[in-house]
Structure 1
Amino acid sequence: MAYWLFKTEPDTFSIDTLKRQKVSCWEGVRNYQARNMMRDDIKLGDEILIYHSSCKDVGVVGIAKVVKEAYPDHFQFDPHSPYYDPKASPDNPRWIMVDIEYQRHLRLVSLKRMKANPQLAEMPLVKRGNRLSIMPVTEAQWQEILQMTGQF
C-alpha cells in the first residue's frame, strides 16, 4: 500500500462532496506527471490525503482510499466538458482517472503548519514551486500529518 496527497479546490469538489457521494471518480487531471502516477503507481487500497487548495483554509482535510485503479477519463471525449481534449479518442485516450472512497474527515492541517514542521521538509507539497495535483507521501509523512490533526 502507498500513500498519496490529492489536491482539490473545495468550490469544485470538497471532502464534504466526497462524503455525500461515498465513492467518486477523480477526473480532470491534465498534468502528464500526475497522470503517469495515477496510471502507473496508484493502486487499489492506496490511501489518500485530501487537500483543499485555492481557498481560505488551505490544507489536509480528510482521508480517502483508492477503490478502482486507472481507467480512461471519459470527460476527455465530451466536447461539452471543461476537461475535453480534442486530441484524445476512445482508441487512444490521453487522460485517466481513479475512483476513490471517502474514509473520514480530519481536523485541518494547514499548509503553514506543514511547512513549519521539520519532519515534513522533504514532502513535495512544502517545497517551493510544486504545483502537482497528485503527489506521493511517505509513510513517515503520512503518520506525522495524522499526528498533527490531534486525532490520533
Structure 2
Amino acid sequence: MNYWLVKSEPFEYSYDDLEKEGKTMWEGVRNYAARNHLREMRVGDLVLFYHSRKGLEVVGIAKVVRDAYPDPTADKGDWSVVDLVPYRRLTKPVSLQDIKSTPALADIALVRIGRLSVMPMTKPAFDLILDMAQTEM
C-alpha cells in the first residue's frame, strides 16, 4: 500500500462533497508531476485530503478504488484520473501551520513543493499526521 496527499480548494470540491457523492473521479490535474503521481496510485492506497486556499488543513482520508485511466475531461494532452471514495474524516483537522512546525514533517512535499496538487507521502509522515489529528485507522 502507498500513501498520498491530494489538494483541493474547498469552494471547488471539498471533503464534504466527497462524502455526499460517495465517490469521485479525481480529474482536472494539469501538472505533469501530479499526473505521474496519479498514475502511480493503486486500488487500496490511502490519500490524505487537504483543503487549499481556504482552510489550509488536512481534513480527511480517501481511498483509491480505481487505478489511473485517461481523463475524459481533457480536451488535449495525455492526462489521467483515479477514482476516490471517502474513507474517514479526521477527528481534528491538521493545519498547514502545525505541519510546518513539526520537524519530522519538514521534508514532505506539502511543505517543500507547495503548488503540487498530488503528492506521495511516506507511511511515517502519514501516520504522524493521523496522530496529530487524533484519528485512528
| TM-score of the aligned structures, taking structure 2 as reference length | 0.94
CA distance in 2, matches of 1:112, 1:52: 13
Out of 65, 68, 93, the position equivalent to 1:67 is: 65
What is residue 43 of structure 1 aligned with on the other side? 42
What is residue 111 of structure 1 aligned with on the other side? 96
CA distance in 1, matches of 2:103, 2:119: 19
Write the letter of the residue equivalent to 2:2.
A
> What is the Cα deviation at residue 130 of structure 1?
3.0
Q: List 4+ stretches of structure 1 deviating above 2 A.
A: none
- What is the DSSP-based 3-state SS (H/G/I as helix, E as strand, rest coil) of the residue aligned with 2:73? helix
CA distance in 2, matches of 1:43, 1:103: 15
Root mean square deviation, CA, Å: 1.1
Write the letter of the residue equivalent to 1:42.
M
CA distance in 1, matches of 2:28, 2:86: 18
Q: Structure 1 vs Structure 2: percent identity of aligned residues?
A: 47
Cα deviation code 1:109-142 (max 9, x no counterpart): 0000000001101111112x53110000000001
1:1-150 paired onto structure 2 within 5 Å: 1-39=1-39, 41-55=40-54, 57-76=55-74, 85=75, 88=76, 94-106=78-90, 107-127=92-112, 129-150=113-134
Please identify the structure whose Cα radius of gyration is greater: 1
Write the letter of the residue equivalent to 1:97.
V
CA distance in 1, matches of 2:124, 2:88: 20
CA distance in 2, matches of 1:126, 1:132: 10
Any gaps of 5 or more consecutive residues in structure 1? 77-84
Aligned residues: 135
